[in-house]
Structures are given as C-alpha cells and as structure tokens.
Amino acid sequence: MGLMNLNLRRCLKHLSDNVKHKGRFLGSVSSQKYQVELDRSLQVPEEYWGRISENIIWEKKWDKVMDNSNPPFVKWFPGGELSLCYNAVDRHVDEGFGDETAIIWDSAITDRKDKISYNRLKDEVSRVAGLLSRLGVGRGDRVLIYMPMVPEAMVAMLATIRLGAVHSVVFGGFAAKELSTRIKHAEPKVIISASCGIEPNRIVKYKPNVDEAIRLSGLEIKNLVFQRDECIADIGKNDIVWQDVVPGVPGVDCVPVGSMDPLYILYTSGTTGEPKGVQHPTGGHAVVNKWTMETIYGMQPGDTWFAASDLGWIVGHEYTCYSPLLNRTKTILYEGKPVATPDPGQFFRVIQEYQVNGMFTAPTAIRAIKKEDQNGEYAQKYDLSSLRYLFVAGEHCDYDTRLWAEKIFQVPVLDNWWQTETGHAMTSTCIGLGNSLNPPKDVSGMPVPGWDMRILKEDGTEAEANELGRIVAKLPMPPGCMSTLFRADQRFHDTYFKTFPGYYDTMDAGMKDENGYIKVMARDDDVINVAGHRLSTSALEEVILAHPGVGDAAVVGVKDTLKGQLPIGLIVPRLEYTGNLREELVVKVRNDLGAVAAFRIVIMVKGLPRTRSGKTARKTLSDLADGKKVKIPPTIEDPSVYGDIKLALQEHGYALNAPDPE
Ligand code: COA
C-alpha cells in the first residue's frame, strides 16, 4: 500500500513535471505552433510538404509536390525516385551510425533477446534481397510474408522493398483459407514464412498453413522458410530454408522506385469474399512517416521506442518497422503477450531494460494487464522513469483505462486515431507541436497537420460542434495515405469517396468539440474491433453461412470488458440438421478465418430482422445485445423476431436490462 502511494505520488509529480515542461499550453487547448502548422498544411499543402520532403534522401528529386488533377487519385511527389530501404537502413550506415542499434528483439515467450545494429541489418537485408532477386523477384513483384514476431520478419519486409518489390504481410493468426484468398489476390512470386509461431498455450505450426494455402490457391510459389528451434518444418520441393541459403548469398544494392510506386499492400478486415488490399505508395509514406516520429510522438534519433503491435497490422508496419527506422529511433520488436508470458509485468520490464522513451499499444492490452494486476504491483517492481509518453490506438480508449494507465505507467496516455488506409494518425496529440498533454476525457486528439477533418450529417451538411455525424476528411488526403486498392481502382473510389463527394469517408461516427478535439464513437459499417483487430462481420457471416446446418445467420459485436468487442453469431439452424452445430461453427470459423476472430458465442434464434431489400439490421442487434434501447427500423419485414432474439440473448447473459425494442 505504501509502495502504491509512493508510486501514485511519483506519477502525479511526473505528470505535473511533464505538463510544466511543455506547460506553456496548460489551460490553452492547442499551441500556437500547432495551429500555424495545421493551417499552413491545409492552405499551402505543396509548400508545406515540399519543405518536409527534404527529410528524405531522394535518388531523383520530385518534379512537383502534388498532382491533384484526377481526384481522389492524388499523386504526391510525382517524378521523384527513392528507396525507402536506403532511407531506413543504408543511410544510417553511410552517415556513420552503422554500430548503433536499430532493432531490439525481446521475445518474452521464448526468453530470447537480440540487438541488431544498422551494419548487421544492412548485411542481412541485402543478402535476403539477393536471394529474392535470384528467385526472380524484381521491381513491382509481390512477396507475401507470413511470420511471427522475429527479426527475420522485418528483414523480409526490408529485403522486399530493397528490390522495389511490394510486400503483403499476413498476420499469423489467420488460417490457411484466409491466407489463400490473399495469395490468390496478390499473386506473390515468393512467400516468406517461418516454421512456427509461439502462443502461450501452444506452438502454432505456420508451414502446414502455408502449404495448404498454396494448394488452395492453385498456384506454384516458392516458399522461403525460416526454421525456428521450437519446431522444425518439413521441407518440400518448392521450399528453401533461410538458414541454409541466406548466409552464402552476396548482398545487393537498393533499387530506387517512383514516388507513387507501391510500397506494400495490407489486406483489411478479414476478407473471405473479394479481398480489400490497401495499397500504400513509397514517396509520401517515407516523408510523412519519418516526420510523424518527432511531430506526433516526440521521438528523436537515438531514442528508444516500443510499439507492441504485431507486424501483420498497420501499427506494426508503420511503428514497429518503418517509421522508427526512418528516424533512426531504436525500435523494440516484442514477441509475447502483455500478460501470461509469463506475467503482467513484461511491458514494464521492457521499459526498464531498454530505457524506453515512448510506447504505443492498444487499450485492450492495457485492460488485460489491469485485469490481472489491478493495483499495478508488477509495474512497481520496475523503474519506468525513462518513459515520456504512452500512445494508444487500434480502438477507442475509454476514460477508465486511460486514467488507470496514467497512474500505472506514470506518463500522459494519449489516444490517437487512424486506420490501415491512412497509414498514420489523422488525429492525435502532436507532442512535437506542443499540444496539451492533458486533453479532455474520451477524445482522440486534434487533426494532425494535413488532415482537414469535418463532421457531416446524413444530408452532407456540416454538423454543429458536439453534434454526432460521420467523420470525413476533405480532399486531398495528405501524403502517406493509401493510393488505391490493389487492382481495384473503382472499388477504391466507390468505397471511400462516393457517399460524400469531395471527402474521404472514414466510416467512423463521431463529433468535434468547439476547440477542435475529435471524439470517435463507433464504426458505421460492418467492422467490429476485437482486441484491437478489425474484423468484418460479413466475412464471418460468409464462413458461417457456408455450413450446411445454417439456414440464416447474422454476426454482430457485443461489448467485452477485455477485448472491447466479441463477435456473437445469431444462427437460424436448418431443422433437419442433426450435428452439433454450435461446436462445428466455432471450429469452422477457426479453420477458415483464424483463431484471431475469437468466435465462441453461438446463439440459436428463429429468425433475423431483415429489411425489405434483404439487409440485416446489425446495429439494432448489437445495441440489443449490449442492453441498449432499440428502435425498430420501419423497413424491417418482421419486427416480431426481436422478442425471440432478446430472450435468446438473455439466456446467454446478454441484453439483460434491455427494454423491449419498439
Ligand atoms: N499466430 C497464431 N495464432 C495467433 C496469433 C499468431 N500470431 N496471434 C493470436 N493468435 C491466436 C491466439 O492464440 C488465440 O487463440 P486461442 O483462441 O486458441 O486462445 C486467438 O488467436 C486470439 O488471440 P488474441 O487476440 O491475442 O487474444 P488472447 O486472448 O490470446 O490475448 C490480449 C488477449 C488482449 C492479451 C491480446 O489480444 C493482445 O495483446 N492484444 C493487443 C493487440 C494489439 O496490439 N493490436 C494492435 C492494434 S494497435
């Protein structure tokens, strides 16, 4: 208890020191510097980004900062040529920092550690690039990466872009079938994988998943396999073992590409139907992501940064791999969970051991630690004084979680909001521009320079301050955002720019207050957020509907104190089916989509609320499950189904205090 009080005092002191330090802005909501930068980025974007683009080494300087002649297909830095790999790796060697640590690998789950200098990183990346080149990979070709959190995964990403090729990293929690749809869509020349990933309760064999996915895709693809000691994979005729070949291959140089050439494709939201491959361009991405490290996150070259997200997600791409390396900020690659590998003290250990200055995680990870260590006893065992800020993203951070984290981590906890599509934060507290470190509760910060965020009502007019609406960004979007969807320009246009012409539709609902703070409320489309992972409910439905025992199905998200949301399957069974439908569906989702969907709640119902045009009124179902008041939309064909659904939900402990839908 005494310790706790001491910790609390330290925390308050630290917070007030931090606020005093930047304290010019306590009391005022945004700094003058921030306001000037935001205004200039919107009023004279070419001048603004042109100046910032000097932070990158260009092989050939751009002809123009922006070409916006064909919106929404804006071109940033057309005519420019660069290698992002050069800027993230070789540049630091050339500038005399070759011995400095680039990557710190900390595997809490295997109890292994490693520090990789820029010299060593350059050597390994250029050799793997040499091997990929021998396997026929060249500029514009795709390489699919399916690996756990080992340094070789980052080496694989960097080696791919070194050749001007394009990677698509697929998170290891996705199953073979989901992997195969992405293989079919991306048509990679080579797949890079590992023999296994390691989860607290089991070793996950990756290789059989890759073999099965390649078989399902019907393609013949070479697979470069990194063998891990924990599980040696069987090797087939199209496989190459990393350890056998890479050391003997001479390294190759960086291949510069055009600014708008793709850097990577990242598939979003569990896509069993037509995959949605978000494509990011190289030039804008290099410029903006390097800039964000100091401007948003307050990290300098030589600082140490810890983004605890898997490389398979956008946060892992941007803030475990590329942005810190571009900024010469040491990056920690952490393999393990926030809890249970082996205890809830691991994040704090990492902070102390490597003197971490800034950290980035998801609220769900904080809730997991809080659940197991409410009083922060593990945190107290470690010296956290090196830490300056904790950033959270991936889902909305509720105020209780933020307050608890501020008390335990002893630093400001700052929400920032962004999407796979945007590549960096749209709203945040911009440390480098002196925004207040004590934003109001429940907000996700203010627009980052480059983002003209508006709240629109259904009729397309602007909402008043504090009025709920759709959050959109006025075009052009800044550099560093997606340029299109892979092989789907029309879909890109129709998905994001059709509903509100002239704006990027974030598909999130929210509001802006009178000071310009943005509050993000809920997804307006079918995406749910499970443990910081975005999943598509229609993709889950598609898997479930393919089961012969299912007549109809709807998947909706229900609130969960740990993971934010969990999927619930509301199933109308076929009466003639005699199997154990509940269990079979859980196994089917695990096998087809992946364990990451955390799909376990299956509830049988007699019917579902459909509109006349056949759409399921999912929002009413998730509101009902969460115990909220539901107004039945007038277009629902058979409103009586709600009574039965409510009873079924209540039998499973949901919708407990929900009033009857009207
Ligand atoms: N490879 C294979 N399987 C994986 C995997 C991987 N890389 N990652 C997760 N899985 C599996 C897990 O083993 C688990 O399977 P199980 O049902 O057999 O237990 C399932 O997918 C769900 O995993 P996860 O979402 O990690 O849940 P969890 O209950 O194991 O852990 C948390 C809960 C909150 C600790 C964890 O979700 C977490 O750390 N979340 C933070 C996520 C994050 O940082 N997101 C990025 C946004 S910034």
Which CATH topology does 3-84+264-522 take? Rossmann fold (3.40.50)
Q: What is the pLDDT of residue 30?
A: 73
Q: Per-residue pLDDT averaged across 332-351, rounded?
A: 97
pLDDT of 192 over the 80 cut: yes
- Comparing 3-84+264-522 with 97-255, is the CATH topology the same? yes
Q: What is the pLDDT of residue 636?
A: 83
Q: What is the DSSP string of 5-67?
A: HHHHHHHHHHHHHHHHHTGGGTTSSS-HHHHHHHHHHHHSHHHHHHHHGGGS--SB--S-SEE
Cα-to-centroid distance, 424 and ligand 1 (Å): 23
Does the CB atom of residue 312 touch ligand 1 within 6 A?
no
Of 162-176, 188-202, 333-347, 616-630, the one with minimum mean pLDDT is 616-630
Q: Whose CA is nearest to atom 45 of ligand 1?
A: 532
Q: What is the DSSP string of 467-529?
A: --EEEEEESSPPTTS--EETT-HHHHHHHHSSSSTTEEEEEEEEEE-TTS-EEEEEESSSEEE
Per cent of the chain over pLDDT 70 is 94
Does the CB atom of residue 392 touch ligand 1 within 6 A?
no
Distance CA 620, CA 618 (A): 5
| Type of residue found at 633 | P
Q: Per-residue pLDDT averaged across 312-340, rounded?
A: 97
Pocket residue to mutate for ligand 1, from 147, 199, 371, 391, most atoms within 8 A of Cβ:
199
Q: What's the Cα-to-Cα distance from 198 to each of 146, 304, 336, 629, 644, rounded to whole Å?
A: 14, 25, 8, 43, 42
Give the tens place of pLDDT for each residue, 14-59: 444 443 333 333 334 678 999 999 999 999 999 999 999 999 999 9
Q: Kindly list the domain boundaries of the chain, sorted by start residue.
A: 3-84+264-522, 97-255, 531-651
Cα-to-centroid distance, 595 and ligand 1 (Å): 8
**Index of the ligand 1 atom closest to the CA of residue 533:** 45
Q: Per-residue pLDDT averaged across 652-656, rounded?
A: 93
Q: What's the Cα-to-Cα distance from 88 to each of 95, 114, 166, rounded to whole Å?
A: 12, 19, 16
Give the tens place of pLDDT for each residue, 418-438: 999 999 999 999 999 999 898
Cα-to-centroid distance, 173 and ligand 1 (Å): 7
Q: Considering only CA atoms, which of 432, 396, 433 is closest in space to residue 416?
A: 396
Q: Whose CA is nearest to atom 17 of ligand 1?
A: 595
**Index of the ligand 1 atom closest to the CA of residue 202:** 13
Model confidence at 2, pLDDT cuts 50, 70, 90, reads very low
Model confidence at 273, pLDDT cuts 50, 70, 90, reads low
Q: Whose CA is nearest to atom 18 of ligand 1?
A: 595
The answer to whether domain 97-255 has CATH 3.40.50.10800 is: no
Q: Which value, in Å, is the radius of gyration of the alpha carbons in the chain?
A: 24
Beta bridge partners of 450: none
Q: What is the pLDDT of residue 635?
A: 75
Does the CB atom of residue 270 touch ligand 1 within 6 A?
no
Pocket residue to mutate for ligand 1, from 145, 146, 317, 596, most atoms within 8 A of Cβ:
596
Q: Per-residue pLDDT averaged across 74-85, rounded?
A: 98
Does the CB atom of residue 417 touch ligand 1 within 6 A?
no
Q: What is the pLDDT of residue 1?
A: 29
Q: What are the phi and psi torsion angles at 657 (to 5°)?
A: -105, 20
| Cis peptide bond N-terminal to 476, omega within 30 | yes
Q: What is the pLDDT of residue 524?
A: 67
Q: Considering only CA atoms, which of 83, 89, 85 is closest in space to residue 60?
A: 83
pLDDT of 385 over the 80 cut: yes
Model confidence at 307, pLDDT cuts 50, 70, 90, reads very high
Q: What is the pLDDT of residue 535?
A: 83
User: Residue 557, CB half-sphere, CA atoms under 13 Å: how many?
Assistant: 24
pLDDT of 559 over the 60 cut: yes
Of 78-87, 420-429, 487-496, 513-522, the one with minimum mean pLDDT is 513-522
Model confidence at 532, pLDDT cuts 50, 70, 90, reads confident
Cα-to-centroid distance, 553 and ligand 1 (Å): 25
pLDDT of 494 over the 90 cut: yes
pLDDT of 330 over the 90 cut: yes
Model confidence at 623, pLDDT cuts 50, 70, 90, reads very high
Give the tens place of pLDDT for each residue, 239-269: 999 999 999 999 999 999 999 999 999 998 6
Cα-to-centroid distance, 596 and ligand 1 (Å): 6
**Index of the ligand 1 atom closest to the CA of residue 313:** 46
Q: What are the phi and psi torsion angles at 348 (to 5°)?
A: -70, -40
pLDDT of 270 over the 70 cut: no
Does the CB atom of residue 597 touch ligand 1 within 6 A?
no
**Which of residues 18 and 385 earns the better pLDDT score?**
385
Q: What is the pLDDT of residue 212?
A: 97
User: Which position has the token pair 């006893």?
Assistant: 377
Does the CB atom of residue 532 touch ligand 1 within 6 A?
yes
Give the tens place of pLDDT for each residue, 463-482: 999 988 999 999 999 999 99
Model confidence at 319, pLDDT cuts 50, 70, 90, reads very high
Q: What is the pLDDT of residue 317?
A: 98
Q: What is the pLDDT of residue 80?
A: 98
pLDDT of 196 over the 50 cut: yes
Instruction: List Cβ neighbours of 531 (8 Å cut-off, separation of 6 or more).
Output: 362, 364, 562, 563, 564, 596, 598
Domain 531-651 class, CATH top level: alpha beta
Distance CA 50, CA 63 (A): 11
Distance CA 640, CA 608 (A): 10
The 3-class secondary structure across 120-173, one letter per residue, is: HHHHHHHHHHHHHHHCCCCCCCEEEEECCCCHHHHHHHHHHHHCCCEEEECCCC
- C-beta separation of 148 from 194 below 8 A: yes
Model confidence at 195, pLDDT cuts 50, 70, 90, reads very high
Per cent of the chain over pLDDT 90 is 80
Cα-to-centroid distance, 593 and ligand 1 (Å): 14
Q: What is the pLDDT of residue 29?
A: 63
Q: Considering only CA atoms, which of 31, 67, 110, 5 is closest in space to residue 435?
A: 31
Q: Are strands 389-392 and 358-361 parallel, antiparallel or unpaired?
A: parallel
**Which of residues 57 and 616 earns the better pLDDT score?**
57
Does the CB atom of residue 308 touch ligand 1 within 6 A?
yes
At residue 425, the 3 state secondary structure works out as: coil
